[in-house]
A = this chain, B = another copy of it.
Amino acid sequence: MTALEQLIEALRRLPGVGQKSAQRMAYHLLQHDRPGADALAHALQQATHSVRHCERCYTFSESPLCPICQDSRRDARLLCVVETPADQAAMERTASYHGYYFVLQGRISPLDGVGTREIGVEPLLARAADGQVEEVILATSFTAEGEATAHVLAEALRVRGLRSTRLARGVPVGSELEYVDLGTIAHALVDRRAT
């Protein structure tokens, strides 16, 4: 494989990028934006080197504790559970939530061999049992897998005497939280219901 073919191959691994777009990106970088190619290579190395996971909430963080977990002014009685750092970022942008977070490693998906162990249910249960958390807000996606994940989590929490709620169904069914408009998320947060 030539260096050009290898670049196209590597770009194809990006989500949402097919053969045509990968080729177009590679040609664009080499023909019109070599500084952009250098910047991207550098940013990738920087990010894979310095971006780790927060030791408490598992979101992306460049320090052992992320800025939110370090912020003692947040409401320690609330713990919001999301599937991904992207979902957490969407929640933060609504500016209507002031508790802490727990970021799962995705959602339960039996067909892909992803179960409670893989998404990190044990660390979540340990985190929720810190004695300060009074309500766990289950903000997993409103897809079949996200609902199943919320159901499993609610049960596990209930067994341990922990109360959980779910975002209101204001979130359009079948959609991923990350792509929902902020107003809808904010509204669903206010209307959260007991599970």
Contact = CB atoms under 8 A, between A and B. Distances in A.
Nearest to A1: B43
Contacts of A30: 47-48, 51, 60, 85
Copies per assembly:
2
A27 B62 contact: no
Interface in A20-60: 20-21, 23-31, 33-34, 36-51, 60
How many A residues touch the partner, as a band?
35 or more
Nearest to A33: B13
Given A14-B25, A15-B25, A84 B31 contact: yes
Interface in A59-97: 60, 62, 84-86, 89
Contact of A41 (B25, B44, B89): B44
B31 A37 contact: no
Interface of A: 2-4, 6-7, 9-11, 13-17, 20-21, 23-31, 33-34, 36-51, 60, 62, 84-86, 89, 105, 178-179
A47 B37 contact: yes
A46 B85 contact: no
B36 A13 contact: yes
A130 to B, nearest CB: 25
Given A3-B47, A7-B47, A46-B6, A14 B28 contact: yes
Given A4-B60, A16-B24, A36-B10, A45 B41 contact: yes
